[in-house]
Amino acid sequence: MNPTNYLYLSALLFTIGAIGVVMRRNAIVVFMCIELMLNAANLSFVTFARINGNLDGQVVAFFTMVVAACEVVVGLAIIVTIYRSRRSASVDDASLLRR
């Protein structure tokens, strides 16, 4: 398949993830949308690795995966801590810093 199609797919998935981050209220769903954006970026890394004919893009995608895994671990721990103290996983309720 033409590599450009993968780039289109990557752009679409990234956009959908961005909409999700802005529009959804549940912190876990927001988190999953961030994962979607990271995955979309990974797809374009892999595609560009193929276009350029070297493996550097794949190495970068691998690092992205590791960093995303770290981010998920810490983020979910934060969500659980917030849920424990506030009984809610909505991003709108955690507005303590505003006041």
Partner 1 sequence: MGPLAVLAALGMLLVKKAVHSALLLAWVMITLAFFYIAQGALFLGIVQVVVYTGAVMMLFLFILMLVGVDASDSLTETIRGLRPIAITAAIGFGGLMVSLIGRASLGREPIGLEAANAAGNVQGLAYLLFSTYVFPFEVVSALLITAALGAMVLAHHQREVGRPTQRDLSEQRFRSGSLATAAGLPGPGVFARHNAVDVPALLPDGTAAPASISETLRARGDMIDSSQFQLDHINTEIVEEK
Q: How far apart are CA 44 and CA 64, in angstroms?
A: 12
Q: How far apart are CA 68 and CA 17, in angstroms?
A: 15
Q: Which amino acid is at 40?
A: A
Q: Is 80 in the site for partner 1 (CB under 8 A)?
A: yes
**Contact pick of 63, 86, 94, 99 for partner 1 (by CB under 8 A):** 63
**Burial class for 51, CB neighbours closer than 10 Å (0-12, 13-18, 19+):** middle
Q: Least distance in Å: CB of 77 to partner 1?
A: 4
37, 14 Cβ separation under 8 angstroms: yes
**Contact pick of 41, 52, 86, 99 for partner 1 (by CB under 8 A):** 52
Enumerate binding residues for partner 1 (CB under 8 A): 1, 3-9, 11-20, 22-26, 28-29, 31-33, 35-36, 39, 42-43, 46-47, 49-56, 58-59, 61-63, 65-74, 76-81, 83-84, 89-90, 92
